[in-house]
């Protein structure tokens, strides 16, 4: 019933009003599509960021285990993909924890 009333109101409009109304509707639809697209992009970026963080956390956990077993740094780099700087940082963190 609401759509019928809306359609009737559109039919009562002048040509100028109908053109303005159609322009408004089209712009509203474009804006909605843009927002939906932006929302989807943000969701995908969030999923990707979470995946990368998970991979890094796994690499760090693996590196810590390898450091605890006194594996060579070049081997840790090979298996985890972490930088030498990151591994050195983890090594220092482990040493600090041992001192406590």
Residues 1, 66: Cα–Cα separation, whole Å: 70
Cα 10 from Cα 18, distance rounded (Å):
7
Question: What does the buried/exposed string (b/e) look like for 5-35 if buried means 16 or more CB atoms within 10 Å of the residue's CB?
Answer: eeeeeeeeeeeeeeeeeeeeeeeeeeeeeee
Contact 66, 79 (CB under 8 A): yes
pLDDT at res. 8: 67
pTM: 0.62
3-class secondary-structure state, position 83 = coil
pLDDT tens profile 19-69: 998 999 999 999 999 999 999 999 999 999 999 999 999 999 999 999 999
Q: Is the pLDDT of residue 13 over 90?
A: no
Distance CA(32)–CA(94), nearest Å, equals: 51
pLDDT reading at 78 higher than 80: yes
């Amino acid at each position: 019933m609401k759509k019928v009333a809306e359609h009737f109101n559109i039919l009562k409009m002048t040509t100028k009003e109908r053109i303005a109304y159609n322009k408004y509707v089209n712009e509203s639809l474009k804006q909605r599509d843009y927002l939906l697209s932006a929302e989807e992009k943000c969701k995908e970026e969030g999923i990707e960021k979470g995946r990368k963080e998970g991979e890094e956390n796994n690499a760090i956990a693996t590196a810590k285990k390898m450091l605890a077993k006194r594996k060579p740094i070049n081997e840790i780099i090979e298996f985890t993909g972490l930088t030498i700087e990151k591994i050195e940082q983890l090594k220092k963190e482990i040493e600090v924890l041992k001192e406590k």
